Homo-oligomer: A and B are copies of this chain.
Amino acid sequence: MKIYVIFLVVSLFSSAFSDEPSILEYPSTRHKNPDDGGDEVDLHCTSWRFAAETNNLAPWQTIPVECADYIKDYVLGKGYVTDLERVSEEASNFASSVVESSGDGKDIWIFDIDETLLSNLPYYIDHGFGLELFDHSEFDKWVERGVAPAIAPSLKLYQRVLDLGYKVFLLTGRKESHRLVTVENLISAGFQNWDKLILRSPDEQHKTATLYKSEKRDEMVKEGYRIRGNSGDQWSDLLGSSMSQRSFKLANPMYYIP
């Protein structure tokens, strides 16, 4: 198991600083013989993944048991990284197309952090890829290590967006007490020069992510910012009030946040 973790971290980091996309491949453990029902499982689990990604399942707590190997293959194989590269490219194309930027510093791009800029795959490799119920205290320990690798295609988009003159606001469900470790993790993963890093204050812990993030976006709009793009792996990053001109949904078949 640890072999996966080290391989993953190294490959994601290294690819973050090269032009090569990060392809995290490992030998599939699934039977793909059409005679043993593998195709039916693929069909069923692809349909589940489609339903999850389009928010048709909301809320859901764990991935279906029968899709455990499918999800593992997807996130460690070519599927996930292909999807991450595509959403990065589409967002980049849109960011470049917003030509009416007035240069007044009011055009902003919002990024979520977990499974958007930073990958918690090393954690999920050790916790069943979404098969286990979410364990706050275990996950906190992982966050506090501050070693989550960059999602390489998102780092590319991040740099592009800054180069184009957007202000970058990071809006995360992580709690304020994790500010320091989050800053250090972001910097060591290659992210710099953001304009705001917004974390949850203690009195915001009880709110849904949708409400908390909507309120933060409402404030941005009140301050005169134009939210041009919003990148997140959860619909609760994207939906609600003061929605972005364009929203970009990164794939995440491992967990759901309301």
Contact = CB atoms under 8 A, between A and B. Distances in A.
Copies of this chain present = 2
Contacts of A51: 83, 86-87, 90
Interface in A53-81: 53-58, 78-79
A50 interface: yes
A41 B91 CA distance: 22
B55 A247 contact: yes
Contact of A48 (B56, B58, B86): B86
A47 interface: yes
A13 interface: no
B50 A251 contact: yes
B86 A248 contact: no
Given A43-B78, A78-B43, A86 B56 contact: yes
Nearest to A51: B86
Chain A: interface size category: 20 to 34
A57 B89 CA distance: 10
Contacts of A82: 43-44, 47
Given A47-B83, A54-B54, A56-B249, 14 more contacts: A43-B78, A43-B79, A44-B82, A46-B79, A47-B86, A48-B86, A51-B87, A51-B90, A54-B249, A56-B86, A56-B90, A56-B91, A56-B248, A58-B246
3 closest pairs, A vs B, by CB? A54-B249, A47-B82, A56-B90
24 contacts: A43-B78, A43-B79, A46-B46, A46-B79, A47-B79, A47-B82, A47-B83, A47-B86, A48-B86, A50-B50, A50-B53, A50-B83, A50-B86, A51-B83, A53-B53, A53-B54, A54-B249, A55-B247, A56-B86, A56-B87, A56-B91, A56-B248, A57-B90, A239-B243
Interface of A: 43-44, 46-48, 50-51, 53-58, 78-79, 82-83, 86-87, 90-91, 239, 243, 246-249, 251
